[in-house]
Structures are given as structure tokens and as C-alpha cells.
Amino acid sequence: MRTDKSRKRFVFLCVAPATILFFLFMILPTLNVFRMSLYERGAYSPNETFVGLKNFQHLLQDAQFIRSMQNMILLVVTVTLITFAFALVFAAILTREKIKGQNFFRIIFYIPNILSVVVISGIFSAIYKPENGMLNSIIGLFRSMSDPILWKGEKLVIPSIIIAMVWQAIGYYMVMYMASMSAVPISLYESANLDGAGRLTQFFQITIPLIWTNIRTTLTFFIISTINMAFLFVKAMTSGGPNGASDVALSYMYSQKDAGLYGYSMAIGVVIFLFSFALSACVNKVTSRDTLEF
């Protein structure tokens, strides 16, 4: 009995500090965001006025907020699909094909994940520079560039950010999938070869199902983290410009806070939180399937 009590006391002492910190710095601030979304208050004013759901009603009529949400959803969906498609393909090629210098390619692909968002944003901003950027310089070799392409203009700013985000993330997930694919028994592929299955069929019928648990876990994590990464890239590359064309919900939330609309910005935060929670729940539901063992 004494040993059991001592063990429980030890476990409690180990867990208590982390639980207390999580409650103080995660749970309480989150609850306060929900509370403040029901009030009207300046960013630096202690005076609060209860307005109920007025802030949320205003959101439905705010064209710039709707545009920022559309940009965020577009970035999340597009970046996720492109990143995971290329990560899986590259992982399969480097795992199954006999390519010299596989470790070299792993390192090269993984390097962008080590770099900070600010560094990557600086690199791509230099590449997209209209006057003497690398991209326009290469295109100028094949046609006249009297009117340079504005890669960070209103029409192309979102695709330009998508390319930077994919480049940053693809190597990390490629390495993760290479580790999972390496664990798949070669005998399964040999049996499939004897049955006449091609590489593409083996990829979709053997590789993907057997590493599906890993794909599902990383997919949920990536989708949620992309909401934050989109804000970081937008803040570092464009600051929401030009004319709000690259604004995402988080950057718009911060701009409203800086404008003194604290309660309104908290309402935006609540919408983002609920959207993230609902999105992760949908992804878990859609991707659920029986676990295959080998």
C-alpha cells in the first residue's frame, strides 16, 4: 500500500507542474479569448462594454475578413495537397529506386525545414523581385521582359506564397515517409511483381495502405500547423499586401488588434479556433480506416 501511494505521489508531482503551466498559459487564455469576443474594448483600454454576438455579426459583413478566410482556406488546401503528393512521390522514388547518394538527397530536401520562415521569405522575395529577381531574369532569357512580371502583385501573390510554403515543408514529410516506407517488407513488392502489378499499382495498393496511419497523423498535424505557417509567411513576405490580397485570417486579426479593435480581433480568433477544431475533426473522420499490419 505504501509503495502504491508513493508511486501515485511521484506521478502526481511529475505531472502537476506541466498541468498547471498548461492550464495557466493555454486553457485560461483560450477561455479569455472567448470571453473577450463578447465585449467591445480598445487594445489598451481597461473599459469593456458587453455587446454579445455583435462582433460576430460584424464579421459576416466584413468583406476583408471573408477574403482573408478564403485565402487561408486556399493556402491550407493547396499547400497540403501539393506538399503531401510530392513528399510521397519523392519518398517512394528514393526508397524503392536504386539511386546513388540517397542520403545526400535526404539532406538537401530537409535543409529548407531547418531554415527560419524569415530566411525563406527573404530568399523567395529576392527570387520574385520584378527588376532583377532570379525568376524574371530566367524568363527574360527566352522573351522580352520590358514589362516585368509582378510575382507579389495582387494576381500572383497567393501562388507565390504557396510555392514558398511547399518548398519549406516538403523535405520534412518526405524524410518521415521514407522511414515508414523502409519498414514495408520487400517480400510484398516481390510477390506483387510476380502477380504482374506495376510500380504505380504497388504504390497505391501496398505502400499507401501500409503507411496510412503515419499519413493520417502527419496530415492532421500539417493542416493545423499550416494555418499558423500561412500567417508567418504572409507577415514576412507581404504583410498582407498588396491591398490586402494576401491577408489571411490571423494576419487580419492582428491588424484589427493594432487598430484598437481588441474585442473584434478576439472574435476573429474564436472563428479561427473553431475552424481549426472542426477541420481537424473532419480530417480524422474522413481519413479513418482499419489499420493494416504486416
Spatial separation of the C-alpha atoms in residues 31 and 24, rounded to whole Å: 11
How far does CA 192 lie from the centroid of its chain?
35
Total structural domains within the chain: 1
Asked if the structure places residue 90 within a domain, the reply is yes
**Alpha-carbon distances of 178 from 120, 189, 195, 200, 294, rounded to whole Å:** 24, 16, 25, 17, 17
pLDDT, averaged per 10 consecutive residues of the chain (294 residues), comes to 74 88 91 90 76 91 94 94 93 83 82 90 92 86 82 92 94 90 87 86 89 88 90 92 90 89 92 92 83 62
Spatial separation of the C-alpha atoms in residues 53 and 276, rounded to whole Å: 20
Report pTM: 0.89
Spatial separation of the C-alpha atoms in residues 94 and 57, rounded to whole Å: 51
Asked if the structure places residue 85 within a domain, the reply is yes
pLDDT at site 110: 87
pLDDT at site 220: 86
Q: What is the CATH number of the domain that holds 101?
A: 1.10.3720.10
pLDDT at site 292: 62
DSSP class of 292: P
87-93 long-range Cβ contacts below 8 angstroms, 24+ apart: 87/170, 87/173, 87/174, 87/176, 87/177, 88/177, 88/208, 88/215, 90/170, 90/174, 91/174, 91/175, 91/177, 91/178, 91/181, 92/177, 92/181, 92/203, 92/207
Asked if the structure places residue 139 within a domain, the reply is no
Contacts of residue 191, defined as CB under 8 A and 6 or more positions apart, other chains included, come to none
Asked if the structure places residue 29 within a domain, the reply is no
Asked if the structure places residue 74 within a domain, the reply is yes
Q: What percent of the chain clears pLDDT 70, i.e. is strictly above it? A: 96
Asked if the structure places residue 157 within a domain, the reply is no
Check whether the bond before 242 is cis (ω within 30° of 0).
yes
